[in-house]
Structure 1
Amino acid sequence: MEEVERLWNEVRELSLGNNSKVERLQAPPTALQFLRDFVNPNKPCIISNAINHWPALSLWAQAQPNQAQHSYLSRSLSSSSVSLHLTPSGRADALAPLPSSPSSLCFASAYVQRTPFPDALRLIASPDHNPAVVAYAQQQNDCFRSEYSALAADCDPHIDWATEAFGGALPEAVNLWIGNQRSHTSFHKDHYENLYAVVSGEKHFILLPPTDVHRLYIRQYPAATYRYSSDTGEFDLELEEPIRYVPWCSVDPFPPPEKLHEEVSKFPLYFNGPKPFECTVKAGEILYLPSMWFHHVRQSSGDGGCTIAVNYWYDMQFDIKYAYFNFLKSIHYRSPSLLLPEKFSEETDSDPDCL
């Protein structure tokens, strides 16, 4: 199946350029330019100077970590409770060792607790205060227009040139993300067109196009959820009952140094294949992340001790590109030049959305 490996390189050469760089625009595109140059070819880009008018850029980053309770955000949301995601490692919706068998892996979801927003912000902005707990406000249920509706006037309700390019439909969901440098997001993809606007701090993305699906070694993992006791300060990881399996990407692009050789030998298609696209999205910039692109995300905190972003999820078009992707992933691919250690497990469309 050398044709599959050839496809990886052809996509880069024909559509994306083979330099592993995500194109940057210094001003917002017109709707026609955005549709023609990025949406139709399913090509990411970073747009500068598109949200300079947002009050959020100045208002949300005012607090220092030890003053989070006095910040504009805390004052605006003083009476609000939000969904705070807690993990012991900062890796929610990611693979973790099974409690009963550490040599096996499960798909671990965060413990979610309702928390008064000022308390949530203190936990996030001061990560060294309780190093055994990593807090991340990352609810993905249109939370900006529900839990954080008091902040609605600080951002645009939608990205006008993107809305026009996508046919005029408004975003299906708008989400707010508040985290720190301890939180990572593992490789995954979303069935949405994503406009990701960073307000404070920086987001560091690793991107792979949908054609690289085999390089992520998507396999079925039993679902589990963290439980947290505020009395003991300890986490437990419990398998769901009845057992449910989640298709998830197996590759960690940043394995510990002592495990690097092992990971390279387990996942050669990723580590020895074409270089992924990497980019950093800074405060005031928007990343257009096309539907079905695989992405891994890290973050660096801003002056207020947090990384804050707002993303707009627009429905993707289930057109011929989606049919092509389904055909490609249905191939049980075994590289003639890079032997897979295990058979590729076919993915289903039930994979959860996460960033």
Structure 2
Amino acid sequence: MKSGGGRIIEKLWEEVRELSLGSDDTRINRLDSPPTPLQFLRDYVSQNKPCIISNAISHWPALSRWPHLPYLSRSLSTSLVSLHLTPNGRADSIVPLPDHNKDDDLSSSLCFASAHQNDCFRTEYSGLAADCDPDVPWATEALGCSPDAVNLWIGNHLSETSFHKDHYENLYAVVSGEKHFLLLPPTDVHRMYIRPYPAAQYSYSHETGEFSLEVEQPTRFVPWSSVDPFPSPETREAEMDKFPLYFRGPKPFQCTIKAGEVLYLPSMWFHHVRQSPGDDGCCTIAVNYWYDMQFDIKCAYFNFLQSIPYGSLPPETRPEGSPSQTDVSEMSEQEPDEQNGDQ
């Protein structure tokens, strides 16, 4: 039998959907043209409500140039850029340690991250900067600031980003291919089963052509969502039993962002990202603009909700030396180059 607090939290999940996007609708609002700064601020930023905008980047030369790999090669021929290699395209996933078999043992799993989100488009990939706008003008005016970071994402059909949130207002522009998002509002934090996992990275051997996992030393714990929304058919029932608040709760919002479209992803929204190439078979390419969020009363509401121990990890199951609930909350507020984000 659920407690009164549990019923209230579950009611909150439904009310947020009904007030923001419609109680029985998992689609995101679409705009045929860019909003005015006032409309954007009033109808979306202030309401912490996502939307998809068409015809906002149709003037970018990148849309016609970047799907051609020879052009990218020429433009970046003198640039030193970072590449992040993984055996499966999942650069921020939770994976089991080779020496453990217990799925429910936190010490037997790792969350590893290797994606740069440190303003790389304006540094490593500056040879392509002229093909895009330096900011999103109507968002810059509405938010009263320039982007803190502009990042470039290049990947293929294997690239996938697990559920996470960012402390930024995110304008996400797809240049080539398609991005497939699952979105959950900040009020659904308990459904993410956020737990502390040891951080690790993949290491690639040129001699053997194989990957190995290397746990960071000293051990650093990262708060991360335990939920995989697309488990294999063999593990689906077990995953549903382990994470019932996610699988048996309200459906996440789903949207596909095509080349030439922009997603406004409000701060603190949880998102999972997959992608597919365009009709020309080119890799998926996107640019995102991170604007600093306002740490106002909405942030205080979220921190309060997160502190309620409904469906969260019981203290006795934390691995020795892992952070407390307070530490987990503090660790989640990282600088751009320390966060894990979209591929």
Is TM more than 0.5 here?
yes
Candidates 21, 29, 38, aligned match of 1:32: 38
Contact kept in structure 1, 2:34 and 2:53, CA below 8 Å:
yes
Question: Which of 60, 65, 84 is the aligned partner of 2:66?
Answer: 60
Structure 2 Cα separation of the partners of residues 223 and 28 of structure 1: 40
> Aligned partners of 2:287, 2:151: CA distance in 1, in Å?
6
Find the residue that maps to 2:81 and give its secondary structure. Answer: strand
Equivalences, count: 316
Q: Which residue of 2 aligns with 1:160?
A: 137
Contact 2:176 2:282 survives alignment (8 Å): no
Q: Secondary structure at the match of 1:328?
A: helix
Give the Cα separation in 2 of the matches to 1:177 and 1:239: 25
* TM-superposition CA deviations, 1:224-274 (whole Å, max 9, x none): 111110111111101111111110000000001000000000000000000
- Aligned CA RMSD, in angstroms, stands at 1.7
In 1, the alpha carbon distance for the partners of 2:54 and 2:262 equals 7
Matched residue type, 1:144: F
Counterpart in the other structure of 2:330: 349
User: What TM-score results when the alignment is normalised by the length of structure 1?
Assistant: 0.86
**8 Å contact from structure 1 (residues 194, 290) kept in 2:** yes
Runs of at least 5 residues in structure 1 that lack an aligned partner in the other structure: 63-67, 111-137
Code of the residue aligned with 2:99 in structure 1: it is S
Structure 2's unaligned 5+ residue stretches are 1-5, 103-107, 319-323, 333-338
Note if contact 1:200-1:308 (Cα within 8 Å) is conserved in structure 2. Answer: yes
* Residue 297 of structure 1: how far off its partner (Å): 0.1
SS in 2 for 1:353: coil
Shift of 1:109: 2.5
Q: Distance in 1 between matches of 2:226 and 2:311?
A: 16
User: 3-state DSSP class of the match of 2:239?
Assistant: helix
TM normalised by structure 2 equals: 0.89
Cα deviation digits, residues 31-74 of structure 1 (max 9, x gap):
00000100000000000000000000001012xxxxx4xx1111
CA distance in 1, matches of 2:226, 2:185: 16
1:199-233 deviations in Å (ceiling 9; x for gaps): 00000000000000000000011111111101111
Partners in 1 of 2:255 and 2:330 — Cα distance? 27
2: CA distance, partners of 1:159 / 1:349: 30
Q: Does 1:182 align with 2:181?
A: no
Match of 1:296 among 268, 272, 292: 272
Match of 1:8 in 2: 13
The 5 A counterparts of 1:84-99 are 84-99=83-98
| 3-state SS of paired residue (2:8) | helix
Of Structure 1 and Structure 2, which has the larger fraction of its residues in strand? Answer: 1
**Which amino acid in structure 2 is aligned with residue 223 of structure 1?**
A
Matched, 1:108 2:116: no
Runs of 4+ displaced beyond 6 Å = 342-345
Aligned partner of 1:17 among 16, 22, 26 = 22
* Contact residue 84 and residue 139 of structure 1 kept, 8 A: no
Contact 1:180 1:300 in 2 (8 A): yes
- For the pair 1:262 / 2:238, whether they are aligned, the reply is yes
**Residue 306 of structure 2 aligns with which residue?**
329
Alpha-carbon shift at residue 304 of structure 1 (Å): 4.5
The answer to whether the 8 A contact 1:332-1:343 is kept is no
In 1, Cα distance between equivalents of 2:311 and 2:169: 30
Equivalent AA in structure 1 for residue 111 of structure 2: F
